[in-house]
Amino acid sequence: EMLRACLPPDAHRGQAEITLPEGATLTDLIVHLGIDTYLDCSPEDVIREAGWQVSVSGHFETDIRRVLRDGDTVLMMPHISGG
């Protein structure tokens, strides 16, 4: 629900196809979508401090500098705490 505010208007069910330049990284995607601004932290801190989990094409990723490839599917999930 939280990330929907950062998705383009044509996103459907929390999913959107995003076009980035060749060589773009997870950092570039986070900045492109404005997630860092929305969370008021650096792109690195989206994963490190805010504890968001990122999956790239089915594999969890912690390296924010990971270069994305054409056709990659990126899933970003906020940290969920129980009680």
Q: What's residue 52's pLDDT?
A: 81
Residue 4: partners with Cβ closer than 8 Å, 6 or more residues away: 11, 14
At 1 the pLDDT is 55
Per-residue pLDDT of the chain (83 residues; tens, 9 = 90+): 567 788 888 888 888 899 999 999 999 999 999 999 988 999 888 888 777 889 999 999 989 999 999 999 999 887 765 55
- Asked if 76 and 54 touch (Cβ cutoff 8 Å), the reply is yes
